[in-house]
Structure 1
Amino acid sequence: MNKIKVIILGASGKMGQMLIQETITDDELILVGAHDIAGSHAIRKDAGYFIGKETKVLIQDNIDHLLSECDAIIDFTRPEGTLEFLKKASDNKTSYVIGTTGFKPSELDLIQQYSQHIPICMAPNMSVGVNVLISLVEKAAELLPEYDFEVVEAHHKHKVDAPSGTALRLGQAAADGLNISLEKNAIYTRHGREEKRRNNEIGFSTIRAGDIVGEHTVLIAGNGERIELTHKATSRLNFASGALKAAKFVANQKPKLFDMQEVLNLK
């Protein structure tokens, strides 16, 4: 069986290094490229330098020449970088895995347009556990339409987008189960609001502190009882493992925008 050829973006970052580590130990994948921004201290170093492994693949700030030889790109970087590479991937008919979060609505529209030309898997969280949680939240909302849903998330102090993409996806799952619009019912702050909670509000609370990898709780409260569904990530390994599953999936698909629910057959 031919191995799936993979390029990792953001190669010197914590997530990039985890992806490289998992890729080079996966019998179905082969690392053919590693990218980082111009001026990075990692340029021209071996992709496995920071994890003590030799891959014979150098981290480069220009990998355009590798795109036509690649089966899948895995990207956990920033929205501006992702959109730049998506265009190149579309031109080269290369499938794409997006773990980047923080996109604006207009940027999400662009991603949808690119998915008409290449298969893309996009998910705010690639973790298998989180995606099972998403399914559980939607089912709970279907069964408990009279209950109140609140999403509480915590991440490390360096994370810039809030609420997290995962928190928003969990809120969307609740909205889908309740058959309501998240856009119309989401509440991101209650400071300054002198009114009681309205029916169908989906509230979000954000914590940024220390080195928290990622914690998400959906609180489902009724009269006299509450349910709390929680996922706690203790390592980025679960995100990397899910991303590799996504890369294997999209490498054999026709152009479309997929999510991890489809990759994991949860739909």
Structure 2
Amino acid sequence: MIKLSISGAQGRMGQAVLHLAAQDADVTIVEAIDRKKEVLDSGREIVTTHDGDADVLIDFTTPEAFRLRLAECVKHKTAFLSGTTGLSSKDFAALDKAAKTIPVMHAGNYSLGVTLLCELVAHACRVVGHYDIEIVEMHHNRKVDAPSGTANMLLKSACDALGWDPAKAAVHGRQGHTGPRGQKEIGIHALRGGDVFGDHSVIFAGQGERIELTHKAANRDTFAAGAIKAAKFLFSRKPGRYTVRDVLLEG
């Protein structure tokens, strides 16, 4: 049985992972981490640091907490899986460094459907990459960062297929007299409202036709289930940087 630690256990994603993990015979929760140490009505104890007992730590927190948990996982040789968004280039460099000693995985979205969408976007770019490409995402009104990690995943998939630099291609919204659309740009538009779990569309607009590839999540369970599946994949792997695509290809 795989021992899991959940960081961000009091958050929406953490709660979803805890709920699904409790129904999975292949895993057991040995640690629940959040900002405040307490004992819940259910009897589960919330701690504030990782003690090294788990096989895999699943992190859905903030960039600040992400950095603390990653350092603790390196110290205790615990596999590290994160879905935290809003990370900096230094954070990704820290992941690469950690991957030399422990297995790590980071994704803006652990839904296998979104992973498939990224593959479809890459394929579409190889066929109709000369079309104008726009990415539109919508989330609930409590999401604190934009664009979403998933939108950035889709941007990277498109740019990798086209041989473009995501930092140069991305145009975050448009306002005022912007002039004609550039040939090597991908617009990214973030919508916020209501209780939307996550809608993502990639639009390929050509002359006389438009192709739209869309994924819509009905609840957080699809993300939580994907994270647990990815944790099972990461368990007992050699040190290295892994992706959700690796999980998808393994089946």
TM-score (normalizing by structure 1): 0.90
Instruction: Determine if contact 1:71/1:251 at 8 Å carries over to the other structure.
Output: yes
Aligned counterpart in structure 1 of residue 21 of structure 2, from 23, 26, 47:
23
Instruction: Determine if contact 1:23/1:31 at 8 Å carries over to the other structure.
Output: yes
Instruction: Determine if contact 1:31/1:57 at 8 Å carries over to the other structure.
Output: no
The share of aligned pairs that are identical, in percent, is 40
Structure 1 residue 193: Cα displacement: 4.1
- Aligned residue for 1:220? 204
Aligned counterpart in structure 1 of residue 142 of structure 2, from 158, 183, 191:
158
| Structure 2 SS opposite 1:117 | coil
Structure 1 residue 194: Cα displacement: 2.9
Equivalent runs, 1:38-49 vs 2, <5 Å: 38=36, 43-45=38-40, 49=42
Structure 1 residue 106: Cα displacement: 1.4
- Aligned residue for 2:246? 262
Instruction: Determine if contact 2:50/2:73 at 8 Å carries over to the other structure.
Output: no
Aligned counterpart in structure 2 of residue 59 of structure 1, from 46, 50, 55:
46
- Could you tell me how far apart the structure 1 residues matched to 2:88 and 2:169 are? 19
User: Residue deviations 1:61-110, cap 9 Å, x none?
Assistant: 3442xx1x210000111011011011011011100110101001112111
- Could you tell me how far apart the structure 1 residues matched to 2:22 and 2:195 are? 27
Higher mean C-alpha displacement, 170-179 vs 151-160: 170-179
User: Residue deviations 1:97-143, cap 9 Å, x none?
Assistant: 10101001112111111111110111100001100000000000001
Given residue 104 of structure 1, which amino acid in structure 2 is its aligned partner?
S
Equivalent runs, 1:107-146 vs 2, <5 Å: 107-146=91-130
Instruction: Determine if contact 1:90/1:114 at 8 Å carries over to the other structure.
Output: yes
- Aligned residue for 1:168? 152
- Could you tell me how far apart the structure 1 residues matched to 2:183 and 2:6 are? 44
Structure 1 residue 257: Cα displacement: 1.1
- Aligned residue for 1:89? 73
- Could you tell me how far apart the structure 2 residues matched to 1:161 and 1:266 are? 31
Instruction: Determine if contact 1:36/1:59 at 8 Å carries over to the other structure.
Output: yes
Question: How many residues end up aligned between the 2 structures?
Answer: 251
TM-score (normalizing by structure 2): 0.96
Given residue 237 of structure 2, which amino acid in structure 1 is its aligned partner?
Q
- Aligned residue for 1:197? 181
| Structure 2 SS opposite 1:107 | helix
Instruction: Determine if contact 1:99/1:124 at 8 Å carries over to the other structure.
Output: yes
Unaligned segments of structure 1, at least 5 residues: 50-55
Unaligned segments of structure 2, at least 5 residues: none
Change (3 A) 1:63 1:266: closer
Instruction: Determine if contact 1:132/1:266 at 8 Å carries over to the other structure.
Output: no
- Could you tell me how far apart the structure 1 residues matched to 2:49 and 2:237 are? 27
Instruction: Determine if contact 1:135/1:266 at 8 Å carries over to the other structure.
Output: no
Instruction: Determine if contact 2:9/2:33 at 8 Å carries over to the other structure.
Output: yes
- Could you tell me how far apart the structure 2 residues matched to 1:187 and 1:157 are? 22
- Could you tell me how far apart the structure 1 residues matched to 2:248 and 2:63 are? 25
RMSD of aligned Cα (Å): 1.5
Aligned counterpart in structure 2 of residue 13 of structure 1, from 11, 15, 34:
11
Instruction: Determine if contact 2:49/2:69 at 8 Å carries over to the other structure.
Output: no
- Could you tell me how far apart the structure 2 residues matched to 1:221 and 1:266 are? 33
Structure 1 residue 158: Cα displacement: 1.1
Equivalent runs, 1:226-245 vs 2, <5 Å: 226-245=210-229
Change (3 A) 1:193 1:253: farther
Change (3 A) 1:199 1:73: same
Instruction: Determine if contact 2:103/2:237 at 8 Å carries over to the other structure.
Output: yes
